């Protein structure tokens, strides 16, 4: 019997890759969704005796996201050997397009960001809620948000908007499902040394006026490592008070 069944998106690099490795613990059944599978992760899972399912999917493709969500949760281990905990971590996301609001004229780019950062989260969460309904188990959702959803940043009109939407969506899920045992948290991870930060630092100062500050964070060694942030996120999900603060920041925890 699996103690934890975990579903993780954006698992192929950065914070997602670190979370995937942190979830490779005995008694965990891990399902990852990413643009590509990870041979190293598969080898680690095999060595540790962890059940791992890797699904290659572009979650910015809403049809693919919907189909994948339906397939995953239709086959979720349930009746015969229910787990003690079901954990969904919606980590996949993009900071693009980075541009002044007056330059946001490409509907495809805007739509792709909302599809990945918001729509895919809603699709996966809906299936998760239905599949785990009525189970005598912990039902936890972690939506990886950002301080950008709580504070405006010039050049990030789309990113800030998607993360603000994610925060509010998390609050609605709690309003609807908390009484049924669901614990949902929209969690800002802080400034993490990932590919997203590389994208930010490669922006132009015209499109992103705070460029120098983010370049300085890297050069001065102030970026948190994905491994440390992943460790703290997973530790938070194990705390008795997980879910009490629905809009949270991992920097509030040691």
CATH of the domain at 89: 3.40.50.720
Could you report the per-residue pLDDT of 87-133, keeping only the tens digit for each? 999 999 999 999 999 999 999 999 999 999 999 999 999 999 999 99
Structurally, how many domains does the chain consist of?
1
* Predicted local distance difference test score (pLDDT) of residue 81: 66
Which two three-digit tokens encode residue 38? 């990870």
* Local confidence band at 218 (pLDDT 50, 70, 90 cut-offs): confident
Could you report the per-residue pLDDT of 142-160, keeping only the tens digit for each? 999 999 999 999 999 999 9
Range from 31-40, 85-94, 215-224 carrying the lowest mean pLDDT? 215-224
Kindly write down the DSSP assignment for every residue of 202-222, as one continuous string.
TS-TTT-TTHHHHHHHHHTT-
Distance CA 233, CA 33 (A): 18
| Residue 214 belongs to a domain | no
Distance CA 37, CA 11 (A): 9
* Predicted local distance difference test score (pLDDT) of residue 238: 97
Give the mean model confidence (pLDDT) for residues 52-73: 97
Neighbours of 129 (CB within 10 A): 19
Range from 18-22, 210-214, 236-240, 242-246 carrying the lowest mean pLDDT? 210-214
Peptide bond into 61 cis (omega under 30): no
Distance CA 127, CA 80 (A): 19
Neighbours of 188 (CB within 10 A): 20
Q: What share of the chain is helix, strand, coil (3-state, %, to 5)?
A: 45, 20, 35
Domain that holds residue 109: 4-191+226-252
| Residue 196 belongs to a domain | no
* Local confidence band at 2 (pLDDT 50, 70, 90 cut-offs): low
| Residue 200 belongs to a domain | no
| Residue 133 belongs to a domain | yes
| Residue 76 belongs to a domain | yes
Range from 7-11, 205-209, 234-238, 239-243 carrying the lowest mean pLDDT? 205-209
Distance CA 154, CA 102 (A): 11
Distance CA 244, CA 118 (A): 22
Which two three-digit tokens encode residue 1? 């019997």
Q: What is the DSSP letter of 248?
A: E
- Does the pLDDT value for residue 242 go beyond 80? yes
Catalytic positions: 159
Neighbours of 209 (CB within 10 A): 14
């Amino acid at each position: 019997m699996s103690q934890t069944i975990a579903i993780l998106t954006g698992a192929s690099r950065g914070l997602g890759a670190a979370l995937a490795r942190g979830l490779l613990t005995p008694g965990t059944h891990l399902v990852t969704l990413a643009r590509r599978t990870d041979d190293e992760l598969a080898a680690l899972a095999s060595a540790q005796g962890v059940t791992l399912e890797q699904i290659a999917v572009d979650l910015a493709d809403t049809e693919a996201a919907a189909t994948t969500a339906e397939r995953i949760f239709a086959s979720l281990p349930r009746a015969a050997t229910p787990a003690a905990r079901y954990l969904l971590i919606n980590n996949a996301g993009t900071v693009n397009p980075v541009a002044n609001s007056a330059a946001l004229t490409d509907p495809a780019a805007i739509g792709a960001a909302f599809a990945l950062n918001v729509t895919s989260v809603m699709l996966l969460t809906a299936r998760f809620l239905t599949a785990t309904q009525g189970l005598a188990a912990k039902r936890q959702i972690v939506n990886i948000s950002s301080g950008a959803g709580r504070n405006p940043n010039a050049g990030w009109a789309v990113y800030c908007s998607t993360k603000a939407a994610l925060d509010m969506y998390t609050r609605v899920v709690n309003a609807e499902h908390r009484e049924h045992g669901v614990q949902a948290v929209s969690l800002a991870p802080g400034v993490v040394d990932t590919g997203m930060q590389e994208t930010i630092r490669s922006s132009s100062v015209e499109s992103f006026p705070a460029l120098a500050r983010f370049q300085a964070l890297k050069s001065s060694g102030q970026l948190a490592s994905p491994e440390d942030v992943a460790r703290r996120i997973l530790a938070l999900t194990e705390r008795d008070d997980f879910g009490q603060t629905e809009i949270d920041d991992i920097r509030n925890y040691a």
